[in-house]
Structure 1
Amino acid sequence: MKHQVKEVVLKNGARGLLVNIPGASVMGYEINFRAGEYLVSKEKWEVPHLMEHVVLGANQRYKKARLFQAEFEKNGAYTNAHTSVVSVGYEAECADFEWERILRMLLLSISKPLFLREEFRAEYGNIKDELLARSNNHFRTLAISMNEAQGLLAMTDRERLRQMKNVRRKDLIDHYRRTHTTRNMRFIIAGELTSRESKIKKIIEAVSLPKNPDRFDLPNELPQNLGRPVFVTRASVKNVYFGINTFAMKRFSEPDMDALEMVNTMLTATLHSRILGEARERGLVYSMDSGVDIARAHTGWWFGAQVMVKNAPALFEIIVRELQRVKAGEISATDLDSAKQYLLGRHQRSGQTVGGTMAGYSGRYFFDYVVNDYNAIPDRIKAVSRDRITKISNQMFSDRIGGLGVLTTSTKRRELADELHHQIQPLWS
């Protein structure tokens, strides 16, 4: 969607992006605080998550969560909240005709929660149910187990359930008071903003939150190499879930991240990609995912899939071979052009809704306050070269920090995990 973006710094210390999308029929809001699990002890890990649930409950004006939600949703508006290791975020989307009402209600819930005992108890039960459901997601369980083993900030859902007994209502209130300040607030508002900017700024500047403390620093995580594979057993799993992680101990520049995204696309993003395409053609695996992550002081690259036991070694042979080939610069012009065309099309598709347009800014802005030049992304994609891909692929393995995780039916398959671990070691040599 055609749009203009502007960063604003408000009198109360809050900062945000106003994304004007002329003619848009909906408005989107996201309000972010550095208030995630890295700010609490392991015993209190669930405090930010529980807090986020209760904040969108009863407040100064609406004395029960259901009353607030009934009023909020009466014209079809949507609201939600989410918690990560780093952040707590509150979001909403509504029809354009009620943009001001929804913005005021969202800010009311964030600034005037009551933290009722009965709602604390109810959300305590809801979160136990949520975590139990999440624990059945085997990819999630394996990824978190690997992150924990490699020294990153993480906790499995089963362990989170065990730690919930340590959380008290007072913990939520204390964490809220510590983190929900205007200088720790970042926001993105998108939609038809013509002639509305001044009113939006006044509404947010009037929010009833303390100004200090300032925005918290990002956690400084230091990933560690795994000498042996992480091994998780689930009796019901008859095949093999696996994850491969590798880390570079530096935060890549924008051009280098573009190159890493490009080679990641080339290897697994499509049914004709170099790893997934061949594996599908040989009947080895139905699907496979991979992705890149950036943190305060490191960059990560991961691969994962579920595969039949008998097919795992052959799939790993393809993974290792194709990664070694890109590290050696064996990238054809056809492969590079195809990946560029795919990313250009994906970029164009991603911005066809208000929410999709917001998502193009939120990741970087909430992370390190960079305002993406949305219109420059096609030129950035076109600028990626084979030499940069080769360089960056080698850098992702040169620090020799990586590892394998396997989730499967029983300890009887530990030998298979060790064999697969041995199979991928040449990548870091």
Structure 2
Amino acid sequence: MGYEKTQLKNGVRVITNAMPHTQSVSTILYYGVGSRYEEDRIAGISHYIEHMVFKGTKKRPTAKEISEAIEGVGGVLNASTGREITNYWAKVPKENFELSFDVLSDMLLNANFDPAEIEKERKVIIEELHQTLDSPPDLVNEDINAVLWGAQPVGRDIGGSDETVGGITREDLLTYMKQYYLPADMVVSVAGNIQHDEVVKLVEDTLGQLPAGERPVARPAKTLEGGPLVHVYFKETEQANLCLAVPSLNYTDPRRYILSMMDTIMGSGMSSRLFQEIREERGLAYTVDSYTNQLSDTGAWVIYSGVDPDNIDDTIRAIVDELKKLRDEKVPEAELEKAKKYNKGRMLLSLEDTRSVASWAGGQELLLDRILTVEEVVHFIDAVTVDQIHELAQEMFKPENLRLSVVGPYKDQDDRFRELLKF
């Protein structure tokens, strides 16, 4: 997999990966902005803007016309907002690439922000926020961020709250978009059966005409100290949901590949330690897994599980025991080798799809200002050692680092759960 890159005069970076054997082309427009850039008063505005650009332009006045332009050729059009990135993407048959780029660029350059549509979408977004509250797994995975980072922008819901979304005005939306949707922090990544020069010309004629601006800077994040920290969200549920997390590495830390191997060993797949011990051996939970949550200057490693409320104490104890074991005992070489093969295999399989390739290149370019090749990543994975995992586990797994969020039928029981977080 090879890529070509051109940076336009206004700062827009154009990345292409030619995949002549494919029948599709995927285009992703990345902006280096998300919820952590927002002031408290307008929390959720990045996500609000993502919704609004789908609601009509001068060329395509309605949301239906925008979606029909892509779906009418069998394509897919979507977007997502994170804490540091917002992206808009389309995947279409190769002969419809120019159409897809025209739709995406039109949305980002010429969105109407019609007052009536703003009010309708406000209700939709508030319902989306309520949907998270009605889903305990989603709620606990959101709440753990608040336990880790408190009231800082990185600790709150990406979508904001009823109050903040309810107060955002049309002027707020337009001002924020002008301030943060800048060529200097934008990447256009395209993968599929395309030519680099063709893509550069399309971008130059549209997004390349915008004034450059300066790359935005987010407020630094600080992990809350003084743990173990616990938050229990009372909810009458048939199943209790928990997230147990520890502060960890940001995505620029060279040790991130060590963390990735640790994550695989502990919580990726049915052969992982947590799955085997908690589900297969002890039958405590149906679901248990782990993931990394990494930002530019902070990060966390998170374990999630859904359990019978009567089993939650035993489940937390079992998780803590597995953390202690990883901290105190070195991983066998064979187990590490299995984790390496798993990661390399999953990476290679994911890169067969044009959207995955466009995401691989564009995401790295935006976040790291460089694109690692598959071969480079394989080298970094293969270089991880048993001793490195042991050292990182000893650094991470300390009682004062433990963070726990619980959603379930428990009232005023923070102290009870805090007592379980002991090595």
User: Is 1:395 aligned with 2:395?
Assistant: yes
SS in 1 for 2:421: helix
Percent of aligned positions with the same letter in both sequences?
A: 18
**Conserved in 1, the CA contact under 8 Å of 2:8 and 2:204?**
yes
User: Is 1:4 aligned with 2:2?
Assistant: yes
Higher mean displacement: 283-292 or 79-88 = 79-88
**Conserved in 2, the CA contact under 8 Å of 1:27 and 1:190?**
yes
Q: For 2:198 and 2:27, locate their aligned partners in 1 and report how far apart those are by CA, in whole Å.
A: 15
Please name the residue that 1:127 is paired with.
125
Q: Which of the residues 395, 416, 421 maps onto 1:419?
A: 416
Q: Identify if the C-alpha distance between structure 1 residues 422 and 41 changes in structure 2 by more than 3 Å, giving closer, same or farther.
A: same
Q: For 1:264 and 1:39, locate their aligned partners in 2 and report how far apart those are by CA, in whole Å.
A: 28
Please name the residue that 1:167 is paired with.
168
Please name the residue that 2:258 is paired with.
259
Please name the residue that 1:47 is paired with.
45
Q: Identify if the C-alpha distance between structure 1 residues 157 and 212 changes in structure 2 by more than 3 Å, giving closer, same or farther.
A: closer
Structure 1, gaps ≥5 residues long: none
**Conserved in 2, the CA contact under 8 Å of 1:132 and 1:157?**
no
Please name the residue that 1:102 is paired with.
100
Please name the residue that 2:313 is paired with.
313
Please name the residue that 1:198 is paired with.
197
SS in 1 for 2:311: helix
Map of 1:211-230 to 2, 5 A cutoff? Answer: 211-225=211-225, 226-230=227-231
Q: For 2:252 and 2:246, locate their aligned partners in 1 and report how far apart those are by CA, in whole Å.
A: 14
Please name the residue that 1:276 is paired with.
275
Counterpart code for 1:340: K
Q: Which has the higher contact order (CA 8 A, sep 6+)?
A: 2
TM-score scaled by length of structure 2: 0.91
Structure 2, gaps ≥5 residues long: none
Map of 1:339-358 to 2, 5 A cutoff? Answer: 339-358=339-358
User: Is 1:367 aligned with 2:364?
Assistant: no
Count, aligned residues: 417
Please name the residue that 2:210 is paired with.
210
Please name the residue that 1:32 is paired with.
30
Map of 1:45-194 to 2, 5 A cutoff? Answer: 45-149=43-147, 150-151=149-150, 152-153=152-153, 154-156=155-157, 160-193=161-194
- The one-character-per-residue Cα deviations of 1:18-45 (angstroms, maximum 9, x if unpaired) are 1111221101111111332233322211
Counterpart code for 1:268: G
- The one-character-per-residue Cα deviations of 1:150-207 (angstroms, maximum 9, x if unpaired) are 33423348961232221111211111221222222122111112xx211211211122
Q: For 2:54 and 2:337, locate their aligned partners in 1 and report how far apart those are by CA, in whole Å.
A: 47
Q: For 2:159 and 2:206, locate their aligned partners in 1 and report how far apart those are by CA, in whole Å.
A: 37
Q: For 1:249 and 1:75, locate their aligned partners in 2 and report how far apart those are by CA, in whole Å.
A: 42
Counterpart code for 2:334: T
Q: For 2:252 and 2:372, locate their aligned partners in 1 and report how far apart those are by CA, in whole Å.
A: 16
**Conserved in 2, the CA contact under 8 Å of 1:26 and 1:94?**
yes
Counterpart code for 2:293: D
**Conserved in 2, the CA contact under 8 Å of 1:45 and 1:160?**
yes
TM-score scaled by length of structure 1: 0.90
SS in 2 for 1:287: strand
> What's the offset of the Cα at 1:300?
1.6
Counterpart code for 1:246: V
Please name the residue that 2:384 is paired with.
384
Please name the residue that 2:301 is paired with.
301
